[in-house]
Amino acid sequence: MEVTKENLETLANYLQQTLSPDLNVRKPAEDFLVGVEVNQNFAVLLLNLIDKDNFDITIRMAAAIAFKNYIKRNWPIDEDGTNRMHESDRITVKYLIVPLMLKSPESVQKQFSDAVSIIGKYDFPEKWPNLLPEMVNKFATGDFHVINGVLRTAHSLFKRYRHEFKSQKLWEEIKYVLENFAKPLTDLFVEYIVKFGLRRAIKMWEDKQKEKVKQSQTVAQEDDEVPGVMEQLKTEICECATMYAQKYDEEFAPHAPGFATAIWTLLLSTGLEPKYDLLVSNALIFLSKIADRNAYKSLFEDPATLSNICEKVVIPNMHLRDSDLELFEDNPEEYVRRDIEGSDVDTRRRAACDLVRTLSQHFEEKMVNIFGQYVQLMLSKYAESGHREWRGKDTAMYLVTSLVSRGSTNATGVTKASSLVDLGQFAVEHVVTELQKENVMDLPVLKADAIKYLMTFRSLLPAELTVSALPYLINHLKCKGVVCTYSACCIEKLIAGGVISRTTLEPHAAPLLISLFQVMAPEDDLTEQNEYVMKAVLRTMSCLQEASLQYLGAALPKLALMLSKVAKNPSKPHFNHYLFETLSLAITLVTKANPSTINAFEDMLFPIFQDILKNDIQEFMPYVFQMLSLLLELRASTPGAGGDCEAYAALLPCLVAPALWERPANIRPLVRLLCAFLSAKPDDVITSGKLSDDYAIVKGSLQIGQYLIKGRQYGIVL
């Protein structure tokens, strides 16, 4: 592919089509670009298009994203030595990318930065020795945009050092970076400090950013959502101080009291606006980390200090703010992600809880006595105010959970707790009482807190208490948002952990499954894709087994219709996984009870599978192959299934298409499907010749026969 005006315009046209909302326009364009990316100079053509100012910025942005994805797919060299890029393209890309990145708009610059990070993972520094000198030389330009691009790229390139496994090669690479980048970076920092002073240097950078986004200083100052440059700087300082306290204990020790005092003062003077959230979180994390180290415990052991921490730092940052309540009501998915999934987004509450948990481990008796007084005070105010002070009880629930937790796992929740607090008694007096109220819609935050408490301490609470709470949990499935999600999640975890057995569950099967299916498909809307609800359905059916059959008649058509809808726009991989697993389990249970129903399943699902395969919906194809395998295996092994396998036979020629085997996710289900063919229709497979070595070598560039020979690595013995 030569870099010509005609080729650039053709490429721009296809990139424009990939932005179309019409699948019939978008999909062929995406397929075309994937098909031509194997040609020499494709990456160079993309870079040249991005460099042309005469193309619209949306096209250039699409080209930058396509370039990054191309690098992600093709730059790594396979273990067998397969190189999907021409060597001349690799050399040209490394020559062009940094200068082009530094003069590109910021949105494009970010894509290039990611691409540099990917290339650097495999080529830096041995195969890209001029990268660091080239970046360092740009510091001399004095151009904020260029310098910012260099720093962003350096961050993207070096951040992997935080989590990579220790090795001699890693130490050598870090040593190389420190020798060649640390001093120029420090000199740059000192230059701006000396020349302008820290605040003025930051102000200059801030003005530059405001100029780019065309915001006035007044608007920026009044924005309570977006942190300013000073907040960002303080946030980074807290993060760096935490790292030094953890990794350089001896060197940091003389500075620890000063930092602790400064950060304590910072916490007392920082407001509750969302723009300070990350700053406060990092400050609390710093206190938590140094409190966990023997060298600094003396800073916290005074009861007066612990009391001040509780009253002035922990409670204010655990308290539910209006912005938190707004998230709870308007964006329950994000609230759940932050609260129980442990997302990457640090929150004030989580950081405050971690601080309490750390202090409780080292000063257990003092913490329970001091913090317990505040808990009792908040609970009393809630009761005396006629529940108007419900936010106080919400804070008390979080405080109790943090105080008593000593160890936990995802599978069982908290496994060890403080002996100074009676978890069962607290649950009876303050948790179950919230779930017993007739109006399940009243005070939803406290309902969510109560359910979360049961979920958190499920392994330590008396079994009769959790079993007696099951009807209340089922009743709260009729709620919306967070409460419904927590109810489904709690039920699933109680079943998964064996707290609720099949015998216990069977009397509640009808209301539970009916409620769960109603949540997934309210009035046949089928728009709700709640992964926790779907997982609860799967777990319930798996526990009940054949006892769930009477409820599947009405549920299966809804599940199939839901599959057809989500296949048009796959967006939630966990939900999709549980949906396919639920369908597979339901088919297995129903077919074993009534073999003739397999024909109905095939009639219901084959059109959906055909659309998925026809439209090349990659996320769903492995699931489709697995379900086809299941259906074929059931048909072959279930007496009385009737019919034949002719409908499957038409698939056989397609299954040896090399394109399918190029995707690693397809290999295991394809091997299983071919094994199902061999079991159900061995004569047809043999006579077709599709799996012979000659066919695989001549027709399939990937020699598919070799995948079958290696079937053992996929858990299948041929």
State the DSSP string of 272-320: S-GGGHHHHHHHHHHHHHHHTSGGGGGGT-SHHHHHHIIIIIIHHHHSP
Confidence check: pLDDT of 701 > 80: no
Q: How far apart are CA 391 and CA 397, in angstroms?
A: 10
Q: How far apart are CA 591 and CA 599, in angstroms?
A: 10
CATH, residue 24: 1.25.10.10
* Same domain as 530, residue 430: no
Confidence check: pLDDT of 196 > 70: no
Calculated CA dihedral for residues 702, 706, 710, 714, nearest 10 degrees = 40
Q: What is the mean pLDDT of residues 407-420?
A: 89
Q: Of residues 568 and 375, which shows the higher confidence score?
A: 375
Last residue within a domain, chosen from 455, 476, 493: 493
Q: What is the pLDDT of residue 596?
A: 84
Helix pair angle (463-475, 481-496), 10° resolution: 140
If one counts every other C-beta atom within 10 angstroms of the C-beta of residue 718, the result is 11
Q: What is the pLDDT of residue 634?
A: 86
186 domain-assigned: no
Token pair 């298009």 in the structure block, residue: 49
Q: How far apart are CA 559 and CA 35, in angstroms?
A: 35
Burial zone of 633 (CB within 10 Å; 0-12 exposed, 13-18 middle, 19+ buried): middle
Confidence check: pLDDT of 432 > 50: yes
610 domain-assigned: no
Mean pLDDT of all residues belonging to the chain:
85
Confidence check: pLDDT of 393 > 80: yes
Q: What is the pLDDT of residue 263?
A: 93
**Cβ-based neighbours of 716, under 8 Å, separated by 6 or more:** 668, 671, 672, 675
Q: Of residues 332 and 149, which shows the higher confidence score?
A: 332
Q: What is the pLDDT of residue 345?
A: 61
**Per-residue confidence band for 599, with pLDDT thresholds at 50, 70 and 90:** confident
Q: Give the structural domain span for 341.
A: 303-493
Token pair 């192959």 in the structure block, residue: 625
Q: What is the pLDDT of residue 218?
A: 41
* Same domain as 489, residue 505: no
**Per-residue confidence band for 704, with pLDDT thresholds at 50, 70 and 90:** low
Confidence check: pLDDT of 667 > 90: no
* Amino acid occupying residue 75: W
56 domain-assigned: yes
Q: What is the pLDDT of residue 697?
A: 37
Q: Of residues 10 and 671, which shows the higher confidence score?
A: 10
Tell me how many domains the chain contains.
Answer: 5
Contact 430/379 with Cβ under 8 angstroms?
yes
- For residue 590, the 8-state DSSP code is H
**Per-residue confidence band for 651, with pLDDT thresholds at 50, 70 and 90:** confident
Q: What is the mean pLDDT of residues 280-300?
A: 90
583 domain-assigned: yes
Q: What is the pLDDT of residue 294?
A: 84
Contact 470/488 with Cβ under 8 angstroms?
no
For the segment 608-643, what is each residue's pLDDT rounded down to a tens digit? 998 898 888 889 999 999 999 999 888 877 665 555
Q: How far apart are CA 446 and CA 96, in angstroms?
A: 57
Q: Which two three-digit tokens encode residue 147?
A: 């310098």
Q: What is the pLDDT of residue 200?
A: 55
Last residue within a domain, chosen from 468, 493, 518: 493
Q: What is the pLDDT of residue 197?
A: 60
Number of residues written out for the chain = 718
**Per-residue confidence band for 408, with pLDDT thresholds at 50, 70 and 90:** confident
For the segment 496-515, what is each residue's pLDDT rounded down to a tens digit? 999 999 999 999 999 999 99
Contact 641/680 with Cβ under 8 angstroms?
no
Q: How many helices (H) and strands (E) does the chain have?
A: 42, 2
Least confident of 301-315, 351-365, 613-627, 671-685: 671-685
Confidence check: pLDDT of 586 > 70: yes
* Same domain as 583, residue 654: no
β-strands 405-409, 413-417 pairing: antiparallel
If one counts every other C-beta atom within 10 angstroms of the C-beta of residue 531, the result is 20
Q: How far apart are CA 382 and CA 254, in angstroms?
A: 45
Q: How far apart are CA 713 and CA 709, in angstroms?
A: 9
Q: What is the pLDDT of residue 556?
A: 87
Confidence check: pLDDT of 214 > 60: no
* Same domain as 323, residue 274: no
Contact 375/314 with Cβ under 8 angstroms?
no
* Same domain as 154, residue 237: no
Q: Which residue, 66, 55, 77, is CA-closest to 122? A: 77
Q: What is the pLDDT of residue 672?
A: 87
Q: What is the mean pLDDT of residues 25-47?
A: 91
Confidence check: pLDDT of 462 > 90: yes
Helix pair angle (481-496, 509-520), 10° resolution: 130
Q: What is the DSSP string of 159-226?
A: GGGGTSPP-HHHHHHHHHHIIIIIHHHHHHHHHHHHHH-HHHHHHHHHHHHHHHHT--HHHHHH-SSS
Token pair 């299954």 in the structure block, residue: 655
Q: What is the mean pLDDT of residues 97-108?
A: 88
* Same domain as 238, residue 346: no
Q: What is the pLDDT of residue 48?
A: 93
What distances in angstroms separate CA 464 from CA 385, 405, 458, one per listed residue?
31, 21, 11
Compute the half-sphere exposure of residue 487: CA atoms within 13 Å on the CB side of its CA.
26
* Same domain as 435, residue 525: no
Q: Which residue, 14, 5, 92, is CA-closest to 54? A: 5
Confidence check: pLDDT of 678 > 60: yes
* Amino acid occupying residue 45: L
188 domain-assigned: no
607 domain-assigned: no
Q: How far apart are CA 653 and CA 668, in angstroms?
A: 18
Q: What is the mean pLDDT of residues 579-589?
A: 93
* Amino acid occupying residue 383: A
For the segment 175-193, what is each residue's pLDDT rounded down to a tens digit? 999 999 999 999 988 887 7
Q: What is the mean pLDDT of residues 25-34?
A: 90
Confidence check: pLDDT of 95 > 80: yes
Backbone angles phi, psi at 645, to 5 degrees: -105, 20
Q: What is the pLDDT of residue 175?
A: 93
Last residue within a domain, chosen from 130, 163, 196: 163
- For residue 321, the 8-state DSSP code is P
* Same domain as 31, residue 98: yes
Calculated CA dihedral for residues 378, 382, 385, 389, nearest 10 degrees = 80
For the segment 370-387, what is each residue's pLDDT rounded down to a tens digit? 999 999 999 999 999 988
Q: What angle do CA 689, 694, 696 make, to 5 degrees?
A: 80
| Percentage of residues of the chain with pLDDT beyond 70 | 88
Confidence check: pLDDT of 434 > 50: yes
Q: How far apart are CA 190 and CA 187, in angstroms?
A: 5
600 domain-assigned: no
For the segment 138-174, what is each residue's pLDDT rounded down to a tens digit? 998 888 888 888 888 888 888 888 778 888 988 999 9
Contact 152/106 with Cβ under 8 angstroms?
no
Q: What is the pLDDT of residue 648?
A: 77
* Same domain as 647, residue 585: no
* Same domain as 414, residue 386: yes
Q: Which two three-digit tokens encode residue 100?
A: 């082009």
**Per-residue confidence band for 686, with pLDDT thresholds at 50, 70 and 90:** low
**Cβ-based neighbours of 300, under 8 Å, separated by 6 or more:** 291, 306, 309, 359, 362, 363
- For residue 524, the 8-state DSSP code is G
* Same domain as 311, residue 254: no
* Same domain as 398, residue 543: no
Q: How far apart are CA 474 and CA 516, in angstroms?
A: 9
Q: What is the pLDDT of residue 31?
A: 87
Q: How far apart are CA 433 and CA 456, in angstroms?
A: 17
Calculate the CA 260 to chain-centre distance. Answer: 33
Least confident of 20-24, 315-319, 520-524, 552-556: 520-524
Q: What is the mean pLDDT of residues 482-496?
A: 95
414 domain-assigned: yes
Q: What is the pLDDT of residue 344?
A: 53
Q: What is the pLDDT of residue 205?
A: 52
Q: Of residues 202 and 388, which shows the higher confidence score?
A: 388
* Amino acid occupying residue 236: E
